[in-house]
Structures are given as structure tokens and as C-alpha cells.
Structure 1
């Protein structure tokens, strides 16, 4: 990310992250792996998840003394962007959220398994659709757990004095209902059970961890849109009609130019929010507003770019065999994850008066 170039060490770390992501989930891959995992259990490759753990990706945001890499949101967003561009189904953002929560609670044993990629542990915080609030009700169903079929356990935050008590619910024996998603993955709904108490966290810790998941999801959407646009440009250059590439038609050039502008604005929003998150002493309201702006713009842009990309591919773009459709499906799922564009526009509007006061 361009903002990281002010720090040569961080810039080099980000370059290495992008290179390592290309080794596991290349942007220019043939997407056969993605197709093979669609609508199958658990929807991702446990071996790839273990590799992500071995590379330190799950604990990228954690300090080294807690088993992490000690890198900031600029690095994590760069990684999330690459995985979005490759359509990697492994739930890295959800895993990183759980790592932040378990580390703050001092839950060493489950944290170690999660960071090593030996297990997927999901934080079951959401109790209603299109919300970033975590009520922490003891008996409420927990919603929209990504790739829940592959989880070893779930973290159930329950409201307590000053924050949340965390309970670790093993997946085995848990009341879990799975629903398929457009992109071939699944969401789980978990009925609260009898978990083991593994620690407590403050409300501020959970809120910050969720905000980071929001921004990483925005970066993932940026990667989805960016690669969909790249595939579309390549198609416009090679598809012939009336003896010339269709990319030479002015009407299609105008549409492509507008999409490129929206991508550039989205990248600027994601980068600005990541830089603000990594800045010590940044006001909480300004940070929250920047993250909300990035997610709202990323969701809108990803849906715009992928829909336009399908149209620009012509009739073949609407077939399931065309890879461009995979990007639209992923954008449709991620756009509302950790809050819709409408929710984040409201969060941005609410944060502005606080940031200016």
C-alpha cells in the first residue's frame, strides 16, 4: 500500500506478505481450487488454513510476546486484499478477530491452536442482522458465522460488568444450523450452549477487534473488485467484434474509466483508514469514521465493479463457467459482512461530530 512507503521496513514487510500470498493464493490462478471447494464441507482447505497459521497470518496483528507478528493494519489490509483478489475461501478475517479476542483474554491454549492453524475458532458475537453491536445475551442465537462447518470451537461473549466474559463452546455437540451462501461457502447459526469460561475482555477491546475486522473486510472487497476489473480489461483487449477489440469502442472505454476511478477512491479510503489505525494516539471517533467510510465505499464499489464486469463480458459472463461470476458472488457475500454500506454510512455520519469536537 502506498502509504506504507514512508517506512522502508513496513514497505518491505508488505511486499513480502503480498509475495507469500501469491504462493498460496495467486491472483492469476486458474481458480480450479476455488471451484472445487464451492458448496462442499467445510468450504475451505484445512491444509491451506494450517499454512496461513505457519506463515503467521492469523496472528499478524498480535504483538510478538503473544505469538503474533506485531504488524499493523496496513500490513493486514495488504494481505486481505491479495486473498480477496484470489477469492481465497479461508476465513482469515474471522480467525484474526478470534485471535485478538483470545489474546486479550489470556486464553493461551485455544489461542495457540488457532495461531498455528491447527484449528479454526470463530467468535460468535452477532445476534441480529446488519449490526456491529454485541449485546452478549446468554441465550441468544449467534448469527452469520462464516465457514462454521469447519470450526473446532466458538467463542461466545456474554455481557458482564465492565465488558464480556468469554466462553469456549466446542463445535462437537453444538446446536449449529448451516445455510449456503452465494459464493459456495456457508454461514452458521449457533444456539448458545454450555461452554468453558476462558477469560474476559473489555467492551472497548471487542469493539476495536470488530472495527479491524470491518476494515480487513473492506480491503478484501477491494481485492475482489480490483481483480475483477483486471480480468475485464483483459477480456476487452482480446474479444473481437467487427474486426477490432471491443475495448476500442468508446462507450466501453467510458464505462471502464468510471470503474477505475471508483477503484482508486476505494483504495485511497482503505489506505487512509489503515494508516489512521496504525497511528498512535489517533482519536477513536476519527478512526471509527475512517473505517466506516472505507467499508461503505468498498461494498458499493465491489458490487458496482463486479456487476459491470459481468455485463462487459457479454452473454458468457452470465454463465457459471465464466470465472468473472465468481467475483460477483464473493462481492455479494462480503458486502454485508460486518455491516452493510448503509450501516457504515450511518456510523460515518455519527462519528463526524465526535471527531470534530
Structure 2
């Protein structure tokens, strides 16, 4: 057991180190700022580098060409990318990789895993939902960075089964909207007659993949709040007012201590949920663990991000100062794969006696 834990710790350390190639924690934000509000909102070259590093297939089975690692590694990676504000749609791509591995579509999966193809899953039909109705002719909404997609995957319900259809992005009816962090989300009105059926039933897999994406998003939020808190501590230690470093004011020290507690609680919730999934949890156990972590990450994350802006004073509200970029990203991802209230309701329904 000790050797297994040591191996996992080393794997996670290596994943964190590799993230520095794309999103160094101490790097500047010039790349991120240059991509804001410019379609497609991310770099295809960086996405390809993510593929080359094995990130897109991190949790996909080795037999399908993935790395076969677990959610502990995945949340460590998305945490680092959150801290670095990487805008590339890695989490949606990881979800697609899980579905393509289940569908055994080697051609499309191969292009996605090596980063040469951006394949996104269009599953959401209404706001704040983690259900997959699979309505054939329904518009698919809130597809992150959809303007850069080469292909879409559409779950389509057929009785008690959910088939999977692949659709080329070229020629699709896709409408993009800007998000406040400088990215884009798309609404796809798909013509299924143009698509190719690649799997007869991925219902169980898509539910699991969405849970994994929700947990990975919680890891991303953890990275945002941790880095914003780090920037804020640096500001408190250098900013002077009334002839004193403002970090010496007791009231601000108390507020900073409160934020540190929220960061620590979020880390505990996210890493605990990842361990539960890595132990093979399914069904209600998996869902409860994910919902507990996602609720905690969003509630604490948004609290910390907003407090960090306030602790920076007037400069925190300017677009030129980096801490505001973290709040804007948090406001975009907070509802992806289910809002805090949705996950709290699901957790209460599954584990009502285990409330934080």
C-alpha cells in the first residue's frame, strides 16, 4: 500500500511539473490576455501540446491509447491550469475522450488524443443541468470554446439507450457568444442527418464522464482561488497605507486567515472526492462525492475570489490587474457541469446525514 501511495504521489508531482510547460504558476498573463475575445478563444498549438503531453487522454484507458491514470492526477492537472488561466478546453476534451474510448472510434479518438483534432461533446440542453436528455432535434447549449471544434459528439436518446453521433463542425449551425473571461460558448443546432452514428449506447459512460468533468472543474476552481489568494498575500505584504504595510493591520490578517481556511477546505473536498473515484466508486457514492466537492469548490471559490478583489482595493477592479482575471474565469466556470445549488440538492438527496 505504501508503495502504491508513493507511486501515486510521484505521478501527481510529475503531472504538476508538466503543467508548467503550458501554464507556469509564476508566468505572466500576456498569452491569456492576447487570446481574450478573439475567436476561437484559445490556442490550437497549445491544445496540440496538451495532446502531446498526454493530458487529453489522462483518464482514458491505456487500451484505447490513453494514460489510464486517475482523477487524483486529473484534478492536480486542472488545478495547475486554473492557476495559470489556460483557456484551452481540456476538460471538455477529456470528457469526449472518455466517450470515444467507449465507442471504440479509433480514428476520431486518435486525432483528439494527439491534439490535432478538437472534439467537443454537445450534451447540455438547458441551463444549470447535468442531465443528458439526448433530444435529437434540441439545440445543444453552453459548449465551451465551440468555435475551435473540428467535430462534435451528440448523445441521442433512443428509448432506454443513448446513442452517440459524431458530427463534423464544418457547415454546422453554430452560434457563438462571448463569455466575461474572454472565451466563447456555442449553441449548436445539429442536423443529425449529417452525422455518423459511432455507438449504440453510451448512457452509463456519459453520466460518469460528466461527473468526472464536474470534479475536474472543481479542481480548476481550486487553482483559481489559490493563485488569486497568493496574489492577494503578495499585495498585502507590499502595499503601504498610512505609513504601514497593510498586511500588518489585524483586521486584514483575520480576513486573509479566513480565506486560507476556505482554500484548505476546498482542497480537502476535491482531493477526497478524487480518491473516492479512484477507489472505483460508482452510482450514488460517486455522485455524492463529486457533488460535495463541486459545491464546496464553487461556494468557497467565489467567496475567496470576490474577497481577493476587495482586499486589493480599487486596483482590484481594474482590467489591467491580474487578480480580476481569476474572478472572471471563476464566474464562467462556476456553473459548468452543474451549479453549486444543483450539486447541493443532489448531495442532500444521496447523503442527507453527511452535510458540511
Structure 1 length normalisation: TM-score? 0.96
CA distance in 2, matches of 1:328, 1:217: 15
Partner of 1:49: 47
CA distance in 2, matches of 1:71, 1:46: 24
Are 2:118 and 1:120 equivalent residues in the alignment? yes
Which deviations, in whole Å up to 9, do the C-alpha atoms of 1:204-245 show, x marking residues without a partner?
A: 111001000000000000000000000000000011112221
Q: CA RMSD in A?
A: 1.5
CA contact (8 A) 1:97 1:209 kept: yes
CA distance in 2, matches of 1:25, 1:276: 27
Partner of 1:203: 203
Matches within 5 A, 1:46-195: 46-193=44-191, 194-195=194-195
Which deviations, in whole Å up to 9, do the C-alpha atoms of 1:5-56 show, x marking residues without a partner?
A: 9611111111111011012110111101000000001100111100100110
Partner of 1:221: 221
CA contact (8 A) 1:101 1:201 kept: no
Partner of 2:30: 32
Partner of 1:292: 291
CA distance in 1, matches of 2:61, 2:11: 15
Residues 1:354 and 1:64: Cα distance change in structure 2 (over 3 Å): farther
Residues 1:209 and 1:283: Cα distance change in structure 2 (over 3 Å): closer
Which deviations, in whole Å up to 9, do the C-alpha atoms of 1:285-324 show, x marking residues without a partner?
A: 1221111011011011111111111111111111110101
Are 2:226 and 1:241 equivalent residues in the alignment? no
CA contact (8 A) 1:5 1:11 kept: no
Q: CA deviation at 1:202?
A: 3.2
Partner of 2:316: 317
CA distance in 1, matches of 2:315, 2:78: 29
Where has structure 1 moved over 3 Å in runs of 4 or more?
A: none
Report how many residues are paired.
351
Partner of 2:273: 273
Contiguous gaps of at least 5 residues in structure 1: none
CA distance in 1, matches of 2:294, 2:61: 25
Contiguous gaps of at least 5 residues in structure 2: none
Partner of 1:328: 327
Which deviations, in whole Å up to 9, do the C-alpha atoms of 1:166-214 show, x marking residues without a partner?
A: 1111111000010000100010000011211112333211100100000
Which deviations, in whole Å up to 9, do the C-alpha atoms of 1:117-151 show, x marking residues without a partner?
A: 00111000000110111100110000000000000
Which deviations, in whole Å up to 9, do the C-alpha atoms of 1:246-282 show, x marking residues without a partner?
A: 01101111111111111111111001100000003x3
Matches within 5 A, 1:342-357: 342-352=341-351
CA distance in 1, matches of 2:8, 2:143: 32
Which deviations, in whole Å up to 9, do the C-alpha atoms of 1:33-80 show, x marking residues without a partner?
A: 000000001100111100100110000001211101110000001001
Structure 2 length normalisation: TM-score? 0.96
CA distance in 1, matches of 2:282, 2:61: 22
Secondary structure of the residue aligned to 1:23 is: coil
Partner of 1:264: 264
CA distance in 1, matches of 2:106, 2:21: 30
Q: CA deviation at 1:354?
A: 11
